[in-house]
Amino acid sequence: MFDPQKLLRPHLKTLVPYTSARDEYKGDEGVFLDANENPIGSITEENWNRYPDPYQLSLKAKLAEIKGVDSNQIFLGNGSDEPIDLIYRAFCEPGNDEVIINAPTYGMYKVSADINNVSVKEVLLTDKFDLDQGAINKAISDKTKVIWICSPNNPTGNDLSIEITESILKSFNGLVVIDEAYIDFADRPSWINRLNEFPNLIVLQTMSKAWGLAALRMGIAFCSVGVRTILDKIKAPYNLSGLTQRTVLDSLKNLDKKEEMVKQLLLNRDQLGSELESLEGVVKVYPTDANFFLVKMINAREVYLRLIEKKVILRDRSGVVLCEGGIRITVGTEEENERLIKELKKLK
């Protein structure tokens, strides 16, 4: 049976985390002279003078209800960036342990590994952009602590094999992180429904994409209670600002609006996809389960640079392994997509 305590870096096993007086006294009423706050108020119209809830309990309760998980299985971070970093800091011994990424994929898994001096084994996706089970199995060593799976994958856009992912979850004795930043645009249930089956599973989601709250910085790690307890111990005490907690809580009560936006974006996606396909200079529009397309173009780098001159900014992925000639294009509003197509037609 997987036990996160066995995976934990040795020096953290005896860590005494930071505590505040409010860990001992829970309640809104009282005379709070424990945290050296300004009791008069704030210089802003609204008052922000009190420290926010370090464990974000109201927010987690609401999320748990929406997502159908236990609130003890939720860790909230300052963007997904924070849980990505904390997973390294908790489980990967610098200069010794390894992780596996399935490339091409989201850049932060490697950047964060590099910052933490953890070595990365890069396994290439197949030519269909799917997980290469044989190559992953070969890459696993007794130093491998984490396998990163991004699904739908950035920058290729596609969902990765459920069967292979499941087989890795079952056979690998370290953590399997499935990054579902784009799950709202995909046509499959989330892996969070299977948290109770796999104690080594961490599912990342974010408020930055479908919810339209990228500037607030909130990422979610759904995981076993054991893993969550570890992440809670090493995080900064007040990692989510009060403004973020309050605004996200309000947003979660407006689920319909999110779903409406997703519906609109899926329509825009279909429309943009077929327009891109009909363009001269487009070699291939890869199928997508996300809110962006990977598009293979003739002279991709040049197209990218010429569109910048027109103030249309795309993401050049032409230098990325398996993405040669590729540009990543986010699905915009109808007007933005029209503008993009117009500018692309004007090239040559």
Ligand X SMILES: *Cc1c(COP(=O)(O)O)cnc(C)c1O
Binding residues for ligand X, per CB under 6 A? 79-81, 106, 150, 154, 179, 181, 206, 208-209, 214, 219
Nearer to ligand X, 7 or 290 (CB): 290
Enumerate residues 6+ apart whose C-beta is below 8 A from 286.
129, 156, 157, 158, 293, 294, 295, 296
Neighbour count for residue 100 (Cβ, 10 Å)? 25
Distance CA 306, CA 316 (A): 12
Q: To the nearest whole angstrom, how small is the minimum distance from the Cβ of residue 51 to ligand X?
A: 23
Q: To the nearest whole angstrom, how small is the minimum distance from the Cβ of residue 109 to ligand X?
A: 9
108-115 and 81-91 are packed helices; what angle lies between their axes, rounded to 10 degrees? 40
Nearer to ligand X, 79 or 199 (CB): 79
Residues paired with 221 in a beta bridge: 75, 204
Nearer to ligand X, 2 or 82 (CB): 82
> For strand 282-285 and strand 219-222, is the pairing parallel, antiparallel, or unpaired?
unpaired
Nearer to ligand X, 91 or 185 (CB): 185
Q: To the nearest whole angstrom, how small is the minimum distance from the Cβ of residue 105 to ligand X?
A: 7
Q: To the nearest whole angstrom, how small is the minimum distance from the Cβ of residue 276 to ligand X?
A: 20
Q: To the nearest whole angstrom, how small is the minimum distance from the Cβ of residue 111 to ligand X?
A: 12
Q: By C-alpha distance, which of 113, 71, 121, 72 is closest to 92?
A: 113
Q: To the nearest whole angstrom, how small is the minimum distance from the Cβ of residue 130 to ligand X?
A: 16
Distance CA 111, CA 80 (A): 13
Structure tokens at 123: 């396994």
Q: To the nearest whole angstrom, how small is the minimum distance from the Cβ of residue 179 to ligand X?
A: 5
Nearer to ligand X, 143 or 258 (CB): 258
Answer for the pair 239, 78: CB distance below 8 angstroms, yes or no.
yes
Nearer to ligand X, 152 or 344 (CB): 152
Enumerate residues 6+ apart whose C-beta is below 8 A from 308.
none
Q: To the nearest whole angstrom, how small is the minimum distance from the Cβ of residue 304 to ligand X?
A: 19
Residue 220 is which amino acid? I
Distance CA 75, CA 220 (A): 6
Nearer to ligand X, 2 or 206 (CB): 206
Tokens 């997703």 belong to residue: 262
Closest residue by beta carbon to ligand X = 79
Nearer to ligand X, 203 or 230 (CB): 203
Structure tokens at 264: 């609109």
